[in-house]
Amino acid sequence: MNDQLTHLDEQGEARMVDVGAKPDTERTAIAGGAVYMQPDTLRLIREGALKKGDVLTIAKIAGIMAAKRTSDMIPLCHPIPLTKIDVELSLDEPASAVRIQATARTIGKTGVEMEALTAVSVAALTIYDMAKAVDRGMRLGDIRLLEKHGGQHGDYVAEDAP
C-alpha cells in the first residue's frame, strides 16, 4: 500500500496532482452502494407509485449527470472526458434496499474512481429525495469502490465484491 497522500505537497498544502507526464491508458472503475428503506417504500418504488415519478429512472439519470460533473464537486479532481458512464439500479427485496452500481470508463492520464463513486452517491441521494415523503428513515450505505482497472497502480478488486 502506498502511504503517500498525493494531494499534499512537501509542505502539507493541498494541491492538484500533475498528471501531464503520465501516459494515456484505458481506465475503468466500478462502484457500488445501496439505499435501505422500509419494505413499503421499496414496494412503492417497485410499483412506480411515488408522487414524484419513476424513482429508478430519475436516480439513474442523476448518477450519470453527476459523474460528468465530478470535478465541479470534488475540488482536487481532474476534469475527465468519460467514454462511458453506466448506472444500474436493482431492487433487493430481502434487504429492503435499492442496490446501485456505476461503471465509469475513460482513456486518459488519471483514473475514474471518483466519477463512479459520485454517480453512486448522487443516485442514492436522488432516491432519498424522491422517497423521503414516505420514509425519512432511509439509510445510504455501502458506498465503495468495487473494481479499478488500468493506470500505473494496476488493477484492484474488492475481496468481497459481488
Residues paired with residue 91 on neighbouring β-strands, in sequence order: 98
| Among the listed residues 144, 104, 112, 141, the one whose alpha carbon sits nearest the alpha carbon of residue 124 | 141
Q: 63 by DSSP, 3-state: which?
A: helix
For residues 143 and 121, is the Cβ–Cβ distance under 8 A?
yes
Sign of CA dihedral 3, 5, 6, 10: negative
What contacts 124, CB < 8 A, 6 or more positions away? Answer: 33, 34, 35, 59, 100, 140, 143
Instruction: Give the residue ranges of DSSP H helices in the chain.
Output: 39-47, 55-68, 70-73, 113-131
Among 24, 86, 129, 160, which one carries the catalytic annotation? Answer: 129
How far apart are the C-alpha atoms of 133 and 102, rounded to whole Å?
A: 26
The verdict on whether 160 is a catalytic residue reads: no
Write out the catalytic residue numbers: 129
